[in-house]
Chains A and B, each alone.
Chain A
């Protein structure tokens, strides 16, 4: 996510794969990564690493995409390393805590990498088309799938903007030597409320402009055709097969490993 982690055009085997296949693979991988045992995901990391290399993504671009989350990763690691109290010493660094922290961080890194592999090698329009394909059954429940797909697309587009806005506010506060820790609770709440109201109203204004722009271009809700047409090629079927076999192998591995 952030600005880094967005689509980078390129020519590779992974780039050419069908978006539905990639989305399904990432989703099933993330289910597996969360449930699997520590040793299995260690092996899985190796496989994912190979996939990243075959997509011709350099480690540097991958690192740049993960960098904004670094603070978070360190936080998670410390939370587990310091506060996993199984030997009574609380808080304190314990070997088991360190190990747990490492496993959780590793899991987190794999989840991000799998997601990045999808978003970096697939055009957003294709991801959306794939999502629409998988949401289609909901139409029978009278869910307005087309509207929802458009909304997801908008939200995806808004997220980097919002993060950038948040960054800007924090930097502006820092530049003016604002430190919330040093002000009283009452002032803190007041400052937060006035900030959030101003921010939200500004965002609503932008949203209004967007609505106007879309209506001016005669956008209507409901069924839409798409510029992107997804089609499975023979190579996609072969990859799906290989992926399924590998997932089965990992499941078996997960079963037999401690």
Chain B
């Protein structure tokens, strides 16, 4: 019976953040030019607080919720089809990006708000990169056009979300242990 005891709290936190990211699709903040959802906010917090592997796991779970048929992808879409559609790259980027954010954030022992902000920026770059690549590939746009459709409208909102998420992660990190 005596097995190697792996802490179970981490996996519960990860599923909590997976569910939060999913629910985040319905928390819409009306901000020009495009309304932003709370999804990447939760992604950033999840990765920064939980670290690389668990952060990536939380995003994988979010995507599986969508694949199972819950309408949790942007615009209330669901199903495996979205992953192969024009916006699927962002979703795959969520997993990779979360891993990178978590990895970078955990490199510093006492990371401050700036370090969190920096790791989140790095993660966002990866998410955008994958998103735009797939967008240009599936929608047959050239890269510059795809970038102007797939990055520019979301940039201001994401900057705000990164700032908020960095602050929130700082506060949370002080209060919880994983």
The chain A residues found within 8 Å of chain B, CB to CB, are 1, 23, 26-35, 69, 72-73, 76, 108, 111-112, 114-116, 118-119, 127, 131, 147-148, 150-152, 154-156, 158-159, 162-163, 166, 189, 192-193, 196-197, 200-201, 203-204, 207-208, 210-211, 214-215, 219-222
Please name all residues of chain A whose beta carbon is closer than 8 Å to the beta carbon of B171 when the two chains form the complex: 197
Chain B interface residue number, banded: 35 or more
Give the segment of B56-64, B97-105, B111-119, B127-135 that binds chain A. Answer: B56-64
The chain B residues found within 8 Å of chain A, CB to CB, are 3, 5-6, 8-9, 11-16, 18-20, 22-23, 26-27, 45, 57, 60-62, 64-65, 67-71, 75-82, 84-85, 164, 167-168, 171-172, 175-176
Q: Do residues A215 and B8 form an inter-chain contact, with CB atoms below 8 A? A: yes
Instruction: For the complex, give the distance between the alpha carbons of A159 and B61 in Å.
Output: 12
Q: Do residues A131 and B64 form an inter-chain contact, with CB atoms below 8 A? A: yes
Q: In the complex, what's the smallest C-beta–C-beta distance from A149 to chain B, in angstroms? A: 9
Which residue on B lies nearest to A208, using beta carbons?
B9
Q: Do residues B26 and A159 form an inter-chain contact, with CB atoms below 8 A? A: no
Q: Do residues B27 and A155 form an inter-chain contact, with CB atoms below 8 A? A: no
Q: In the complex, what's the smallest C-beta–C-beta distance from B70 to chain A, in angstroms? A: 5
Q: Do residues B69 and A118 form an inter-chain contact, with CB atoms below 8 A? A: yes
Q: Do residues B11 and A147 form an inter-chain contact, with CB atoms below 8 A? A: yes
Instruction: For the complex, give the distance between the alpha carbons of A189 and B64 in Å.
Output: 32
Q: Do residues B76 and A211 form an inter-chain contact, with CB atoms below 8 A? A: no
If the complex has contacts A34-B79, A197-B168, are A207 and B26 also in contact, measured as CB distance less than 8 A? no
Instruction: For the complex, give the distance between the alpha carbons of A201 and B12 in Å.
Output: 14
Instruction: For the complex, give the distance between the alpha carbons of A31 and B9 in Å.
Output: 35
Q: Do residues B81 and A35 form an inter-chain contact, with CB atoms below 8 A? A: yes
If the complex has contacts A152-B64, A200-B168, are A1 and B71 also in contact, measured as CB distance less than 8 A? yes
Instruction: For the complex, give the distance between the alpha carbons of A35 and B71 in Å.
Output: 17
Q: Do residues A203 and B70 form an inter-chain contact, with CB atoms below 8 A? A: no
Q: Do residues A26 and B79 form an inter-chain contact, with CB atoms below 8 A? A: yes
Instruction: For the complex, give the distance between the alpha carbons of A228 and B82 in Å.
Output: 29
If the complex has contacts A33-B79, A127-B68, A152-B15, are A196 and B168 also in contact, measured as CB distance less than 8 A? yes
